[in-house]
Structure 1
């Protein structure tokens, strides 16, 4: 009768990220973070975004599409790795018209 420790597999943040990715088709973490903050008008941390992306990959909600090496003159160095995510087979988007309208307004 011991309780399972840790976070619940259900998450509002992850569900909202599924909605965003449904309309965006694919995105890397920082891109998803920027859209999330604007569309949902909420402040979340980058760490939280990456936690939910990685947990979503474990649960089959998100898939890793590719990893890109992007060269540039960044304050921290000469390049970055962009991990591109897309929806996985276990994703269940609600297909909200409100979210779609907000994403289209940002373009």
Structure 2
């Protein structure tokens, strides 16, 4: 097989997180990802959320516009993501242990 592999480890890990914690914002996914799987950039998480939405792994659950006094302006947009039927979770021990400890 030539070329790049079809899947992505980061996107698969995001699928695993949403399997247990759906719906979540990109920032909440980012925070959980670091605790479970280690270093990743927020930019990479948002890239995979956008790409995964385009290929049908994720869907936008809701978009909330919040007003406030933020460092970047007066409003913030929170986009909540869900899994779709096309996403297949590949549950590993890292996410199982985190989820079981997080429930307590």
Aligned length: 102
Specify which of 23, 28, 34 is matched with residue 31 of structure 2.
34
Match of 2:67 in 1: 71
Q: What value does the CA root-mean-square deviation take over the aligned residues?
A: 1.9
Unaligned 5+ runs, structure 2: none
Match of 1:50 in 2: 46
With the length of structure 1 as denominator, give the TM-score of the two structures.
0.83
Unaligned 5+ runs, structure 1: none
Within-5 A mapping of 1:1-107: 8-40=5-37, 42-106=38-102
Measure the CA separation in 1 of the matches of 2:78 and 2:10.
21
| CA deviation string 1:59-106 (max 9, x = no partner) | 110011111102222211222101110001210012345413213434
Given that 1:39 and 1:103 are in contact with CA atoms closer than 8 Å, whether structure 2 keeps it comes out as no
With the length of structure 2 as denominator, give the TM-score of the two structures.
0.85
Measure the CA separation in 2 of the matches of 1:8 and 1:82.
31
Q: Which runs of 4+ in 1 moved over 4 A?
A: none
